[in-house]
Amino acid sequence: MQTVRLLTLILLHSSFSLSAQETDTLSYPSFQFDGTLKNKYEYASETGMSRFSVRNSRVGAKGIINSYTSFRVQVELSDNGDFKVLDLSGTLEPLDGLTFTLGQTSIPLFNSYIVTPGTMMFANRAFLGKYFISTRDLGVLVKYGFNMGIVPIKLEMGLFNGNAINDPVWKKNESFGARVELGSMKGARVTAKMYNYPNNDSTRFLFYGADFRYDTGKWKFETEVMKRESKTAHNTDMLSYYLQGAYHIPVKWSMFNYLLPAIRWDAIDERLDENGFDVNRLTTGIGFGFKQKQFSSILRFDYEWYYVNNDMTIFAKNPEMDSDKFTVELLITF
């Protein structure tokens, strides 16, 4: 199996190289090859345990076949030792600003900068990006973007199998979701979203939330709240939010060309009582980064303080999950 995977990657790389030569003279087809490598060291101060890990090793390609057709392919070479297919989708754009994406793709619920390894502000995801639901599914996603005066607006609606990735099951009730976005990634942006997830008789959830983001190029601030309502007695409701910010400081060093100090406060709760959130977390970090046209890297040092009011089952796998932690991460994207 490992040999087959290696040969597949070699063939993909060969075909990408050939296409790259063709794009010098042709507008179509074109493609962009990308990847993410995320290596970490973690030390849990409360238990004295530590570990090294390759958290993400993603490679992918996206391209334009003609003026109205494009595609996206992305795989995870090792997710805790498992090979996973993440994105397999094709997109049609019959009208300017209107797209139809069919295949395995992102659901219209999460912000990419919270769940995508290459764009996250910290080594570990915010609680709501990690513990609520899978970020991808098999289905169809419709997007329409336009301007209302000077304000960019994007509408998204999707219909999905509702059984996470790589599992094309037969179902009577599919999942569906929608999101509305006002603004852009530069300046102010606000979104509201919902996602209905009737997976089976014991797992039926309704997710909804909203977020606000402001980015000046030098500094950015982001906040989001999301709730999961269980429609059965087999699971509990869940509520989570985060506030985070970072400041970009240009430097002229041999190895790095910017510093990125960052801070985040996030919390998660499943009791929804008057005693506050079950688990709160304060994360501070400093990143030493280098960025150029095709490649970027950041060496990040983070420390997390956990404030546990009530034990939660999502942290029960091992005592290190909700222990204070020091993390060193090397992230490389291309």
- The residue extents of the domains of the chain are 30-333
Q: What is the mean pLDDT of residues 231-235?
A: 92
The mean pLDDT of the chain is 91
| Range of lowest pLDDT (26-30, 166-170, 268-272, 300-304) | 26-30
Residue 166 pLDDT > 60: yes
Query: In degrees, to the nearest 5, what angle opens at C-alpha 106 toward C-alphas 232 and 63?
Result: 165
Handedness of CA 66, 151, 213, 276 (dihedral sign): negative
CB atoms within 10 A of CB 46: 12
| Distance of alpha carbon 265 from alpha carbon 171, whole angstroms | 39
Query: In degrees, to the nearest 5, what angle opens at C-alpha 94 toward C-alphas 90 and 100?
Result: 40
Tell me the residue type at 209: G
At 69 the pLDDT is 96
DSSP letters along 15-67, please?
A: HHHHHHHHTTT-SSSEEEEEEEEEEEEEEETTTTEEEEEEEEEEEEEEEEEET
At 7 the pLDDT is 36
At 22 the pLDDT is 42
User: How much of the chain, in percent, has pLDDT values that exceed 70?
Assistant: 92
| CATH of the domain spanning 30-333, picked from 3.30.200.20, 3.40.190.10, 2.40.160.10, 2.40.50.140 | 2.40.160.10
Backbone angles phi, psi at 116, to 5 degrees: -90, 125
CB–CB of 140/176 below 8 Å?
A: no
At 11 the pLDDT is 39
| Distance of alpha carbon 137 from alpha carbon 102, whole angstroms | 10
Residue with more model confidence, 76 or 166? 76
| Distance of alpha carbon 333 from alpha carbon 296, whole angstroms | 5
**3-state secondary structure (DSSP) of residue 8:** helix
Give the residue from 153, 195, 160, 199 showing the smallest Cα distance to 178.
195
**3-state secondary structure (DSSP) of residue 194:** strand
| Distance of alpha carbon 31 from alpha carbon 9, whole angstroms | 16
Q: What is the mean pLDDT of residues 84-101?
A: 96
pTM over 0.85: yes
pLDDT band at residue 74 under the 50/70/90 scheme: very high
H/E segment holding residue 156? strand 151-160
